[in-house]
Amino acid sequence: MQFNREWIDGSMNGKSMRAYRVRPQAAGDKPLPTVLVIQEIWGVDEHIQDMADRFAAAGYQAIAPDLFSYGDTPEALTAPRIQAVKRFLDTMPPAGWGNPEVMQQHLGTLPNEEAQKVQETQKLLFGPKDEENFIAQLKHWTDRGLEYGPAVLSIGYCMGGRLAFLLACHDRRIKAAVCNYGTAPSEEELAQLQSPVYGFYGGTDHRITDAVPGVAETMKALGKTFHYAIYPEAGHAFFNDSRTSYDVDAARLAWAETLHFFSQQLSR
């Protein structure tokens, strides 16, 4: 299948930002529903662009906002620096990612300058996020999506999963949202939700998945629509086929459910 792919520019508060946009070429200029594909902490990398392409192949326009591009991408968050952190983390057991002692031991195997760069980028990637700014950016891309077609849906992965859920709480124009292994918004934020949400989680991803039944209870008490699926053998980031976390069975099932869910909601 052939696609029309491009990077499009946006502006907010006088600062620039950009997003990856893709459509099926055979659709021509026909208005299409837009899927906002919201990044993991790794940015709009090849995996996120590939996920956007998959939605285009399914008949959507996809927009993947580069949330790190607002104003100007910091050197520490450029693609080469993020790739270096990925390579470094791949040398460690995942259980050691949150262990400062294990982290320092592995950093000690790198040349000093390389270790400093990895630490700087890692601090930005895993540190606190300006979610208010991210949501404001995403609302801009909702505007753009509605310029191109009749409806906007949101989906995200890890950090982006949370943001897709959160965006639906703060932007009633979102037709439906899918949260892939992301944490849920607060009860106060959930009370503002108008859109149905579907969550997909890995059974061994206890930090996030153990809270899901409680989120479901809260959503039910608030009268909100929340479906979820937990894949017992899968871990965190099971959709990411560029990482060792990829689980083909969970990804296949979640993909089919996502397409069905979006199609179902668009028909209402």
DSSP letter string, the chain: --EEEEEEEEEETTEEEEEEEEEEGGGTT----EEEEE-BTTBS-HHHHHHHHHHHHTT-EEEEEETT-SSS--GGGSHHHHHHHHHHHTTS-GGGTT-HHHHHHHHTTS-HHHHHHHHHHHHHHHS---HHHHHHHHHHHHHHHHHHSS-EEEEEETHHHHHHHHHHHH-TTEEEEEEES-PPPPHHHHTT--S-EEEEEETT-HHHHTTHHHHHHHHHHTT--EEEEEETT--TTTT-TTSTT--HHHHHHHHHHHHHHHHHHHT-
pTM of the prediction? 0.96
Q: Which amino acid is present at 40?
A: E
How is residue 11 written in tokens?
A: 């502006």
pLDDT (0 to 100) of residue 54: 98
pLDDT (0 to 100) of residue 95: 67
CATH topology of domain 3-70+132-266: Rossmann fold (3.40.50)
131 C-beta neighbours (distance < 10 Å), count: 15
Which has the minimum average pLDDT: 2-6, 103-107, 120-124? 103-107
99: confidence class by pLDDT, cuts 50, 70, 90:
confident
pLDDT (0 to 100) of residue 248: 98
Which has the minimum average pLDDT: 31-45, 75-89, 91-105? 91-105
The average confidence (pLDDT) of the chain is: 95
| Mean pLDDT calculated for residue range 16-32 | 97
Is 80 exceeded by the pLDDT of residue 118? yes
Q: Do 182 and 164 touch, CB atoms closer than 8 A?
A: yes
Q: Distance of alpha carbon 142 from its chain centroid, rounded?
A: 15
Is 90 exceeded by the pLDDT of residue 97? no
| Mean pLDDT calculated for residue range 100-115 | 87
Is 90 exceeded by the pLDDT of residue 208? yes
pLDDT (0 to 100) of residue 187: 98
106: confidence class by pLDDT, cuts 50, 70, 90:
confident
pLDDT (0 to 100) of residue 79: 94
pLDDT (0 to 100) of residue 249: 98
| Mean pLDDT calculated for residue range 112-138 | 94
- Ranges of each domain in the chain: 3-70+132-266, 75-126
| Mean pLDDT calculated for residue range 178-192 | 98
Phi, psi for 21 (deg, rounded to 5): -125, 135
| Mean pLDDT calculated for residue range 56-78 | 96
Please indicate whether residue 249 or residue 98 has the higher confidence score (pLDDT): 249
| Model pLDDT for residues 129-166, shown as the tens digit of each residue | 999 999 999 999 999 999 999 999 999 999 999 999 99
Q: Which amino acid is present at 205?
A: D
